[in-house]
Structure 1
Amino acid sequence: MSSSNFSIPRRGFLALGASWGLAGCGGGGDAGGTDPLPAAPAIQGFDTVAGSPLVGERLRLRPLFSGGAGRIEPEIGAVVSGVEVQTPVLDGPRCYTLVVEAAGRPTARRELLLPVRYRERYQALALPFALQYHAAVLAADGGVLVIGGSRGEPSLSNAIDRFDPASGRFERLGQMRTGRALHSATRLASGQILVLGGLISLEIGGVAELIDERSGAVLDAGRPRQPRARHAALALADGRVLVAGGLGRDTLELWDPQQRQFRLLAARMRHVREFPSLTQLADGRVLIVGGYHDGPVNVTAELFDPAAESLAAVATALDERRQLHEAHRMADGSVLILGGELIAPEGIRPLASVLRYEPLAGTLAGVQGLEQARTLVRSVRTAGDEIRLFGGQTEADAVAASACLYRPGQGATALPAMPVPRAWHSVTRLADGRILILGGDDAAGAPVAGGLLFD
């Protein structure tokens, strides 16, 4: 570098040093010589670079700012002005905030809302087996374990398969001790899955099984105190698993993960509940709704308190024996109960009604319903408190291909229909927001071959 090139910044530096020294000493010139403050933090731009925000994809963002250090919240962190950054995979709407800060100056902020949407399309998956009456569980690594079911073979399947969302492929991970159908599969915080009840192909004394979601290894998990089918199971906040109802059952059991043992509780539900729903509330209590029974008195819903191991009826004017419905806890803590069926003298009657449980008031009441009556429907809650429902049985179709989107306060609108109808299928929301649809009954009651990814 030449001395002439170097001299300008050096002279500037020396001049600045002199002024700092004078200022530090409390003298050295009049007020007109005071250096101006650096420019305050300012944001000139904050937007996406290209493309539309879609579920399962990433977007590039470009921040433009001056006067300080910048960062994007949440998920991204420190950024440089004019340098593009990439979002994580988007599973739903996002609101990012660009923050620019400098010591002693006002902070500049700008928000960027990404209304991430679904394409509303289905992509076919090459499922290597037909499938119905199985369980599907989302694992911590983003894969989905497909457990048991009827796979078009002479006996029920004991297979444990893993779906890899990145490759779209299925691989065998392990085997249970017996084939199972219509069983429950409950994921624990440890990364294990408790499988119990349902129909079994081998008599193994009612033993529950514990699957390691990483290796597929299977361990005995103890024996439920009573055989269970058409029951429900839920992992509690303290790590125990609540097992409720089932065919001819008004009882509750708790499974202890430390002892790997089941314990029958003294508290009993008001009556038998077949195919009820269990939903954990924000305070740890469990809302038990519906379940078929043929007793003379009906209690639509009950609350289970895990700390006291007690039950209390929910206040409601409703008197219905709803079963095979869907239940979701919403962002505000309320619970929606959607669809299902009643067993009427004339036969099965699918329901279009939706119920809402309000924890603060302790009440259960009807709200705006579905676009049509649906039982055996399967659904997921997606970002933005939307519920997407697929297939099942309707009043018009013994097995339905139709689907709908339900928004609280707005009701239901139709989604594109699935390529083939399904009931008794599984629907799993993946970590990237896409939805995995597997198996089910076809119109003839046979297991459906092939799976779908909805995005």
Structure 2
Amino acid sequence: MAPRFFRSTLLAAALVSLTPACGVKEVRPSLDLLTASCAGTQPLAGVTHLRFRVTGPGLDGPRERVSTVQWAPEDVPALPPGSARVLEVRAYAGAPDQGGRLVSLGRTAPFDVAEGQAPRVRVFLRRLGEFVPVNLAADPRTCALPAEARAAHTATTLPDGRVWLAGGYRPQPDGTRPVSRTSEVFNPADGTFSAGPEVGARAFHTASLLPDGRVFVAGGAESFAPVSLQPTARLVDVATGGVSELTPKVARYQHAAAVDAEGHVALVSGRAADGGTVSELEGFDATTGLFVSSGTPLHRTDVALAVRPDGMDIQVVGGVDPLKKAETDVPAFRFQNGSLGALPAGTALRIGRQGAAVAMLGRADESPALLVMGGFDGAEPEQGARPVGASEFLDGVSSVRDGPALMPRGNLCAVTLTDGRVVALGGRGTGFGTTYAVPWAELITPHAGAQPTVLGLPLMPQPRVWHTCSALPDGSVLVVGGVDDSTGEIRANTEALVVMPPPRD
């Protein structure tokens, strides 16, 4: 399998061996290894060796084989039957057991192995830490583009690993912002974008994945000149294309939403068409299809929501009050007895902030904690509000502690990887009395009993804000859309980028 080919396929897939100790038949997966990219550094540039590594429940440890870059079918480990197997391919410049440098990485999505049946799997090999456009499995040297340029859209990772992109506006050089009513689906298995159901014109809306796999889409602006609000919500079954329309009690945009473990959706904060604050909290019960109100108003905008690890308590992080003060109080709510009720306990951030991001840091087996990142310490960055670099952990609903220092910016995008790490991307910085999109990317790794470490990843090719970031099943991150105004000229980010962080181990 010479490295000059961008695709290497194990056609001799069903090599079966018998494990003498227990009589279990092991099978060798059929691997479709894609070793080209449509831009950037080619994944096999400088590579001399490959390590094939399989992990999963029930294995006594990782199964590994090392080969030269000209690998053969038998270099892929044979596997016993089991579920959630992951095949990882690591590419090195130099022999890995002699100090070779890891330069590229690819993984499968988790797959099942049935006895005597060799599964077919695919791996996109990607250069570590490098942001490149997504490429097609059918032609890896061809980049795949979304159908539309989008900003202030939503990206929802579906149970099958696909990413559903909905709504948003199309940034124009003259500053106008026509709003989209379309959606599209990115399939990481083959690198394609395909049309999805229409959701009604909306930007700065929310899209919440429900436990049954449907997506609840709420609010948003349907136009900006002048501002008018989308009065409807939609329940969308992306798999079937089914859409049902609902009517919330309150229209809002630039709000926040969160889903508890039972499928209740909380809609919090936001702006009215005149720019005023929407103070009414509203909940949606997916099991009954009914909207419920809360008796506790919340007078703040630009908040973030966080769901506690218990899956039930919802915390409101940051925001600014009507007097333009950045809030420190972190109220908590829970759906109970058919309503969204405030919890008596609460805590306070050490730094008031609006436009922050919150993500869970740590795997389920290592005491994960909610990490609050970024934001501005006041209402108006153009009038002196500063971006925040300090992060904070929310410990329960009644205490906080310091987190690691990050690059100071607001309106960043943060996503939790399957291995418990967090990637923080883009956002808005300040300088010379103005705000601008930034290209910064950071990888945050938790450590038991110690502060997390922060690794600066290479800069994104273009600064961006109002973009989305989504964790893909292979451990990479998809970045879509947004606006680049860093040069004073408004530019749409038309490419969908993917980045593979370095492995945790």
SS of corresponding position for 2:212: coil
After superposition, the C-alpha distances for 1:314-358 in whole angstroms (9 at most, x for unaligned) are 654646441221111234142110111122673342110101111
The match for 2:4 is: none
The match for 1:137 is: 156
The match for 2:360 is: 329
**Residue 73 of structure 1, CA deviation:** 5.2
> Number of matched residues?
366
* Letter in structure 2 aligned against 1:85: L
Say whether 1:217 aligns with 2:242: yes
Say whether 1:172 aligns with 2:200: no
**1:265 and 1:172, CA in 2 relative to 1: closer, same or farther beyond 3 A?**
same
Partner Cα distance (1:259, 1:146) in 2: 26
**Residue 283 of structure 1, CA deviation:** 5.5
After superposition, the C-alpha distances for 1:347-393 in whole angstroms (9 at most, x for unaligned) are 3421101011111x8202333221x2011211212244321111112
The match for 2:132 is: 123
Choose the corresponding residue for 1:72, options 48, 59, 63: 59
**1:286 and 1:58, CA in 2 relative to 1: closer, same or farther beyond 3 A?**
farther
The match for 1:112 is: none
Partner Cα distance (1:58, 1:313) in 2: 53
Q: Is contact 1:315-1:364 (8 Å) kept? A: no
**Residue 186 of structure 1, CA deviation:** 0.4
The match for 1:253 is: 282
Q: Is contact 1:424-1:440 (8 Å) kept? A: yes
SS of corresponding position for 1:88: strand
Superposition pairs for residues 308-387 of structure 1, below 5 Å? 309-312=340-343, 316=347, 318=349, 320-330=351-361, 331=363, 332-343=367-378, 346-359=383-396, 362-370=398-406, 372-387=407-422
Say whether 1:307 aligns with 2:336: yes
**Residue 239 of structure 1, CA deviation:** 1.5
Question: Which is higher, the Rg of structure 1 or of structure 2?
Answer: 1
SS of corresponding position for 1:306: strand
**Residue 136 of structure 1, CA deviation:** 0.6
**1:324 and 1:73, CA in 2 relative to 1: closer, same or farther beyond 3 A?**
farther
Q: Is contact 1:314-1:364 (8 Å) kept? A: no
**Residue 212 of structure 1, CA deviation:** 0.9
**1:88 and 1:319, CA in 2 relative to 1: closer, same or farther beyond 3 A?**
closer
Partner Cα distance (1:447, 1:314) in 2: 43
Say whether 1:288 aligns with 2:316: yes
**Residue 288 of structure 1, CA deviation:** 1.4
The match for 2:66 is: none
Q: Is contact 1:426-1:437 (8 Å) kept? A: yes
The match for 1:236 is: 260
After superposition, the C-alpha distances for 1:170-209 in whole angstroms (9 at most, x for unaligned) are 1112212x21101000011222111111101497971111
Choose the corresponding residue for 1:277, options 286, 295, 305: 305
Say whether 1:88 aligns with 2:86: yes
Choose the corresponding residue for 2:203, options 181, 184, 208: 181
Q: Which runs of 5+ in 2 are unaligned?
A: 1-20, 23-34, 36-49, 64-75, 89-105, 108-125, 135-143, 272-276, 501-505
* Letter in structure 2 aligned against 1:59: F
Q: Is contact 1:279-1:327 (8 Å) kept? A: no
* Letter in structure 1 aligned against 2:191: G
**1:445 and 1:73, CA in 2 relative to 1: closer, same or farther beyond 3 A?**
farther
Partner Cα distance (2:471, 2:213) in 1: 18
Superposition pairs for residues 94-105 of structure 1, below 5 Å? none
The match for 2:475 is: 433
* Letter in structure 2 aligned against 1:403: A
Say whether 1:452 aligns with 2:491: no
Q: Is contact 1:336-1:356 (8 Å) kept? A: yes
**Residue 246 of structure 1, CA deviation:** 1.4
SS of corresponding position for 1:427: strand
SS of corresponding position for 2:400: strand
SS of corresponding position for 2:469: strand
**1:313 and 1:288, CA in 2 relative to 1: closer, same or farther beyond 3 A?**
farther
What's the Cα RMSD here? 3.6
* Letter in structure 1 aligned against 2:282: E
Partner Cα distance (2:77, 2:150) in 1: 48
After superposition, the C-alpha distances for 1:69-105 in whole angstroms (9 at most, x for unaligned) are xx625999xxxxx97339424599xxxxxxxxxxxxx
**1:326 and 1:254, CA in 2 relative to 1: closer, same or farther beyond 3 A?**
same
**Residue 232 of structure 1, CA deviation:** 0.9
SS of corresponding position for 1:452: strand
**Residue 223 of structure 1, CA deviation:** 1.6
* Letter in structure 2 aligned against 1:290: G
Partner Cα distance (1:356, 1:187) in 2: 24
**1:219 and 1:407, CA in 2 relative to 1: closer, same or farther beyond 3 A?**
same
SS of corresponding position for 1:449: coil
Partner Cα distance (2:348, 2:258) in 1: 27
Partner Cα distance (1:175, 1:61) in 2: 40
- TM-score normalised over the length of structure 1: 0.71
* Letter in structure 2 aligned against 1:367: G
Choose the corresponding residue for 2:214, options 186, 192, 198: 192
**Residue 260 of structure 1, CA deviation:** 2.0
**1:165 and 1:181, CA in 2 relative to 1: closer, same or farther beyond 3 A?**
same
Q: Is contact 1:58-1:89 (8 Å) kept? A: no
Partner Cα distance (1:205, 1:122) in 2: 34
SS of corresponding position for 2:342: strand
**1:320 and 1:72, CA in 2 relative to 1: closer, same or farther beyond 3 A?**
closer
Partner Cα distance (1:168, 1:298) in 2: 42
Q: Is contact 1:251-1:267 (8 Å) kept? A: yes
**1:83 and 1:393, CA in 2 relative to 1: closer, same or farther beyond 3 A?**
closer
Q: Is contact 1:223-1:261 (8 Å) kept? A: no
Partner Cα distance (1:175, 1:394) in 2: 34
Choose the corresponding residue for 2:167, options 141, 145, 148: 148
